[in-house]
Structure 1
Amino acid sequence: MSRTVRILGDALLWVAAALGLLCAVLAVLTSVCGMQVMLFSSGSMEPTIPAGSAALVAPVQAPDVQVGDVVTVARGTGELPVTHRVVGIEDSTSAGARLLTLRGDANAQDDPAPYDVTEVGRVVLSVPGIAPVVSQLGASRMLAPLGVVAAAFVIWGLWPRRERRSRA
């Protein structure tokens, strides 16, 4: 029985370590590289990015955007950004800016007006179904329990273990 518990504990410790490494990598990408994690609540980009997905978005200058890219742009003060596919590009009157016409993959029509942008976020990768988990893990009420669980794993992983002596 104790061998099974030890194996299960070791497996849980490896899973926790992998999740911790993933969090560390995401922290570096967001703080050093300027990337963002976007959570999708609507299905406007289905089937490419279904509702409930999380995506990693990298900053890109407007001149580097191409038709077909999936980008995140700001809509206005107090509004959530929109992530849709670029279906048209025109020059803007502003220096370094472009007018992007966007449309969600699930939408029959383009967005109402082009977006005049100098920088956008380009979707690098998306993971379906993970947005609710990410959202809950980021809630303040979850931080203390997660800290306790992480501390318990560290203590358990570092706790000295008795070696069994073989009978010879």
Structure 2
Amino acid sequence: MSTAAIPALDHEDEPVPTGPHRRSVLSRIEDGALTLLALLGVVCIIATIAAFALNISLIMFKTGSMSPTIPTGSLAVVRQIPASDIKVDDVTTVSRGEGQLPVTHRVVSVTPIGGGSYSIEMKGDANDSPDARPYEVTEVKKVLWHAPGLAYAVSAVSQPEYMAAITVVASLLVVWAFWPRKQQ
């Protein structure tokens, strides 16, 4: 068997593997944070599309007229529905007219009045008697779900200084996510 010399190849520019490829802890944390932020972004996009497609919005409870079922400071998810779908015991939001805040109470009676309009009588769970007069509606916002105390948090972060801070932090996260990194 010949022991002929094997020509040496010059590979000075290539890194020499020294063992299993290990990533730093910081690199793993960065990847995890980016993955979490990407998932949060996807959830936000899906929620926005669903809100438009399903006619869903949020309302905040500023009074205790629906306590204890829905206490002051609750945030509720509501869906706009035609008046023909209203049922007794539904909690709905209706407009009270120009310049007045809407009211959200429990439906105690529903009466068709023609032309797609309905007269609904409503009462707050904490109130002793029904609202002063019935509401004439063609559509209402039905409460689907509520979370006590969440309205306070939403109200707080809706302040301009918090919105500015959220915008700056989100911008920095985008820059960080797309900043070139060294290959390991």
With the length of structure 1 as denominator, give the TM-score of the two structures.
0.79
Aligned equivalent of 1:150, options 165, 170, 177: 170
Q: What is the number of residues matched between the two proteins?
A: 160
Aligned equivalent of 1:98, options 118, 126, 135: 118
Compute the displacement of 1:70 (Å).
0.7
Pair 12,53 (structure 1): closer, same or farther in 2 beyond 3 Å: farther
Provide the C-alpha distance between the structure 2 equivalents of 1:158 and 1:33, rounded to a whole number of angstroms: 34
Which residue of 1 is the match for residue 86 of structure 2?
65
Q: Which runs of 5 or more residues in structure 2 are unaligned?
A: 1-23
Pick the structure with greater CA Rg: 2
Do the aligned residues in 2 keep the contact of 1:47 with 1:106 (CA within 8 Å)? yes
Alignment of 1:1-168 (within 5 A): 3=25, 7=29, 10=32, 14=36, 16-17=37-38, 19-92=40-113, 94-159=114-179, 160=181, 163=184
Question: Secondary structure at 2:165's aligned position in 1?
Answer: helix
CA RMSD across the alignment:
2.6
Provide the C-alpha distance between the structure 2 equivalents of 1:161 and 1:131, rounded to a whole number of angstroms: 44
Compute the displacement of 1:129 (Å).
1.0
Which has the higher relative contact order, 1 or 2, with Cα contacts under 8 A spaced 6 or more apart?
A: 1
Q: Which runs of 5 or more residues in structure 1 are unaligned?
A: 164-168
Identity, in percent, stands at: 40
Deviations 1:26-77 (A, max 9, x none): 4223333322210111111112211111111111111111001111100110
Deviations 1:142-162 (A, max 9, x none): 332111111222333444367
